[in-house]
Amino acid sequence: MDKKKSSHSSFGEITKAMGLVFGDIGTSPIYTLTVIFFLTSPTPENVIGILSLIFWTLIIIVTVEYTFLAMSMSSKGEGGIIVLKEILHSSLKSARSMVYVTFLGYIGVSLLMGDGVITPAISILSAVEGLELIPGMGHIDENTVVVITIAITILLFAVQSRGTDKVASSFGPIMILWFSSLFITGFVSLIESPGIVLAISPHYGIEFLINNGLAGFIVLSEVILCATGGEALYADMGHLGKEPIRRAWYFVFFALVINYFGQGAFAMRMNEGKEEQINILFAMIKHQAEFLYIPFLILTLFATIIASQAMISAMFSLVYQGIRTHIFPLMRVKYTSTHLKSQIYVAAVNWGLLAAVIFVILLFKKSTNLAAAYGLAVTATMTVSTIFMIWIFLKKDFKLKFYAALLVLVVNLAFLFSVFTKIPHGGYWSIIIAAVPLLIIYIWTFGNKSVYRSFRSLPIDTYLTSFDQLYQGGKLLPGTALYFTKDLYMIPPYMVHCTIRGSIMYEHNILVSVITMDKPFGVQKLYVPDITEGLSGLEVQAGYMEKLDVPKILKETTIDPKVMFYGVDDIRAKKPMLKFFAFIKKITPNFVQFLDLPYHKLHGVVTRIDL
């Protein structure tokens, strides 16, 4: 009975993985070969060579890099580029090495956010373009396709605040149906040209690159589209566990390969001219079973919406990690699920992402045009992840994994250099989009360091001399007062102003410090009952993905405050960058809003800081 229960549980987890992890990579067949055969003619030699490149890209980049190498490393079961950065950071001693790792991590996070803008745009746009091949529909104007795409995109983003927990259960079955459809349609096409399976031999891919020179190198920049979304396998490991994701990948990989091979066989037989710009997948479905075309198109639309949803959720999670690790400004966070920590909603990210996606759709208008910008951010992120892995394996002396990661890096670099050819054709937009979060990260971290240098905190020993004198004076207010501080042993200026200069002294005064740990989950409390008479301390250490409930922690520690004091920075800056930092600080919520503390007990004390 236990085995039966375990198998049901395992199947359920695999189904969840289908819906939450493989949406992006699973919708790549909609546009990948179509884009490639705009660049080169689908002759038998070209088709077999390109399919060989796709097959080995899925093997090396997704299977080896992510399911084998990356998934062998985690922090409390969590994965992702921030986790890799933290694992590597903890093993380094050189300050210079730490700076390099931090900078590379920031670049990786920024590029991943750039990918988060392009993925919903290209996925939904490519699905809506399938309307053009509906039997009897006739030609649909490009602007109509754009309007429909934008309408679906707005609807998708508008429902984010309600949470996806209730509908997420349907994602898995829909994606199983999607991958089954890809497999069946690919297999039906493949049996008409069985010789195409020879493409699994790597020498056809190498031969294609050698024979085509620069043209083959440019084609390589589009081949990487088949692996977009591969990083989700590792990033979502904490939500589902590595085993369900690995098992689901076997099925997904098989379905993708058969479909790509089927599309290649169809393109070779039909010899679609690149000037006709026909979507190969949709044309293949229409050719095989015209009466199933509309149901397949509806399924495609659902699959692309699920892929976009997964990317939006990933952006929320990434920004939340960034807020907790102090690389992003504080933003209001809404928890949309009572049992899934990953289900959060960040309004500022949601609407900012929507604006960026709509801008990209209006800018490129066609999925084939958008493909010119797609791939650069993904490939660069994969390269950064591989560099981190090599570094970690070298530190831990894992020789086999180290050499495997070196091979993966060589392949990643080949793809990275090839996607540089996209820069003049719209690829620069990937850099511009990624530059926005990178600039925000730089300004925020630089500004906080400047504030910290100007923030004249008082050592607790010095503070206690004055505190003890005032406390012994006997003019005490009844109840307990909390004072939020970064460190229990350094007193912030606002508290000095409040207690010593303002003579506001309560019977019980408690310093509260909230510290973010390097690991993703876990909460630790350290209560220091008697720093001196009338003054205690509470240090809360929490993982950077932990949902922090400070009122609950206070209740557990039997602390019932009458008032809660916190500092409000009034920053006056002269340099343009610091002025911008001051502006961001002013328009973003204070940390007390982020922690969701009871407003009727809060008292903000303003501190003037000149930078």
Contact 24, 364 (CB under 8 A): no
Task: Give this prediction's pTM.
Answer: 0.80
**Per-residue model confidence as pLDDT tens digits over 354-411:** 999 999 999 888 887 787 777 788 888 888 888 888 888 888 878 888 898 899 999 9
* CATH architecture assignment, domain 2-446: Up-down Bundle (1.20)
Q: Counting every residue, how long is the chain?
A: 611
Identify residue 338 by its one-letter amino acid code. Answer: T
CA pair distance 140, 135, nearest whole angstrom: 12
Selection from 597, 581, 598 nearest residue 329 by Cα: 581
User: How far from 457 is each of 28, 453, 528, 533, CA to CA, in Å?
Assistant: 53, 10, 20, 21
Residue 167 CA to residue 176 CA, distance in Å, equals 15
* Residue 482 DSSP SS3: strand
Percent of the chain with pLDDT over 90: 15
Could you tell me the sign of the dihedral formed by the alpha carbons of 69, 73, 78, 79, in that order?
Answer: negative
CB 29 within 8 A of CB 373: no
Q: What is the pLDDT of residues 518-551, one digit of tens each?
A: 666 778 888 878 788 888 888 888 776 677 778 8
Query: What pLDDT sits at residue 51?
Result: 95
pLDDT at 183 > cutoff 90: yes
What is d(CA 287, CA 301) in angstroms, rounded to the nearest whole number? 20
Domain with CATH 1.20.1740.10 in the chain: 2-446
Q: What is the average pLDDT across 281-301?
A: 89
Q: What is the DSSP string of 55-105?
A: HHHIIIIIIIIIIIIGGG--BTTB-SHHHHHHHHHHH---HHHHHHHHHHH
